[in-house]
Amino acid sequence: MIGIIDYGMGNLASVQNACNHLGVENRIVSDPDALKTCDKLILPGVGAFRDSMQNIHDSGMYETICQFVKEEKKPLLGICLGMQVLFEAGQEDGYTPGFGFLKGQVIPMTDASIRIPHIGWNQLEKAQEHPIFKEVSPRPFVYFVHSYYASDMDPADLLGYCHYGPYQIPGLVYHENVLGAQFHPEKSAEDGLAILKYFVEEFV
């Protein structure tokens, strides 16, 4: 069972539609007891880092998600903002602690020579060899919508990135049983669905 976490800030319908398309048993979960019944979790997200962490704490799911990942070692996929909160902290609207599953902080893009937010398709470049790249096309293009990006992360946790102006944007990250996509796999055509399929069927 795949649990899609509802904390009031995720594009739940598109993620669930993608899971349904793949024939994956899934349900939307919004409380600690429901989380405990899941084998894997997907944490989607649209909005601001501080608001998302506040909502997760207010829902009572923060501790259960930490237990799910750190103690039970079950897999979790974070998408867009859901990936960003997997890091130690974010700087949007002031410093806000994240889950800390991944080393690094989420900081704003500020270069005036590019359009911010970064919206649209961009090529996902391979940072290291990993089985996930056997599932996608040789030059995968994926869909981004974001103004902040992960920095100071452990290079060993970086699977894929894209170039946007002067920035190298971490696009696909992982650490042990945690996988994160800065882009939206559910909106990234066949390559995005292949990444979701890999998480569901093979990751950890």
Catalytic positions: 80, 184, 186
Helices 189-201 and 12-21, packing angle to 10 deg? 80
Burial bucket for residue 67 (CB in 10 Å: 0-12, 13-18, 19+): middle
DSSP 149: E
Is there a contact between 91 and 107 (Cβ–Cβ < 8 Å)? yes
Distance CA 157, CA 155 (A): 5
User: Which residue type is seen at 153?
Assistant: M
> Parallel, antiparallel, or unpaired for β 2-5 and 26-29?
parallel
